[in-house]
């Protein structure tokens, strides 16, 4: 058996050490890539949320002209909008999810109540705003799915061995999923809306 303390032994040990360092660098680079993928996915959602939030005051103003007796519905939409903006600016993903759920419910109620106002439904501005907001809702749903997938990939990787060693060493953290409540999935109670 050959003595490993000679030049061959140092060469083998150096090769193993170099391989470990390169593997660690590859893990680090992949974790950085995942972190930035999550940030990019959130940025895409944020742009759509901002666009929708910019459209809401226009929709509410259009509705106010016709819906004199539905101020509570309009106020709920605007309060939910303010809560969602505050959560977005604070970077509170869970808060955004909760506020967006309330805003989506408010919008659903607003569109349902608008059915009782034929003049409003026929208003071209209302129709355009409703279509624009509905289109943004669909885009937000698509982007939310992409964001949550990016978050999930990141969160799994930072818990897997050996990635978790590098993640802990360089303080890579988990991200929150953007979730909306189960209420959003239910149909609005039409009887209650028109009672």
* Lowest pLDDT segment from 23-37, 61-75, 84-98, 154-168: 61-75
Give the distance, in angstroms, between the CA of residue 183 and the centroid of all CA atoms in the same chain: 17
Q: Is the pLDDT of residue 39 over 90?
A: yes
What separation in angstroms does the CA of 74 have from each of 40, 60, 89, 104, 184? 33, 6, 23, 12, 18
Q: Any idea where the domains of the chain sit in the sequence? A: 20-31+38-194
pLDDT at site 69: 65
Taking the C-alpha atoms of residue 26 and residue 32, their distance in angstroms, rounded to an integer, is: 10
How far apart CA 47 and CA 191 sit, in angstroms, is 35
pLDDT digit string, tens, across residues 144-193: 999 999 999 999 999 999 999 999 999 999 999 998 765 544 544 444 44
Nearest Cα to 102, choosing from 184, 176, 177? 184
- pLDDT top residue among 109 and 30: 30
CATH class of 20-31+38-194: mainly alpha
Q: Residue 20's pLDDT is what?
A: 92
Which is more confidently placed, 143 or 62? 143
Assess contact for 146 and 44: CB atoms under 8 A. yes
Residue 31: the pLDDT is: 96
Per-range mean pLDDT, top range of 59-68, 74-83, 159-168: 159-168
The rounded distance, in Å, linking the Cα atoms of 78 and 69 is 16
| Digit-coded pLDDT (tens) for 129-157 | 999 999 999 999 999 999 999 999 999 99
């Amino acid at each position: 058996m050959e003595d490993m303390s000679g030049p061959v032994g140092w060469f083998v040990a150096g090769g193993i050490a170099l391989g470990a360092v390169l593997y660690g660098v590859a893990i680090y680079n992949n974790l950085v890539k995942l972190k930035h993928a999550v940030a990019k996915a959130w940025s895409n959602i944020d742009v759509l949320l901002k666009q929708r939030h910019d459209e809401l005051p226009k929709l509410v103003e259009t509705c106010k002209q016709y819906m004199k007796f539905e101020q509570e519905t309009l106020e709920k939409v605007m309060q939910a909008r303010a809560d969602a903006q505050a959560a977005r600016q604070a970077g509170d993903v869970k808060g955004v999810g909760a506020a967006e759920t309330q805003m989506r419910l408010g919008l659903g109620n607003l569109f349902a109540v608008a059915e009782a106002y034929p003049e409003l439904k026929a208003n071209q501005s209302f129709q355009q705003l409703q279509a624009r907001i509905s289109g943004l809702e669909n885009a937000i749903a698509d982007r939310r799915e992409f964001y949550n997938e990016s978050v999930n990939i990141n969160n799994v990787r930072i818990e897997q061995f050996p990635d978790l060693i590098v993640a802990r060493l360089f303080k890579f953290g988990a991200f929150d999923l953007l979730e909306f409540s189960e209420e959003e999935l239910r149909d609005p109670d039409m009887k209650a809306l028109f009672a």
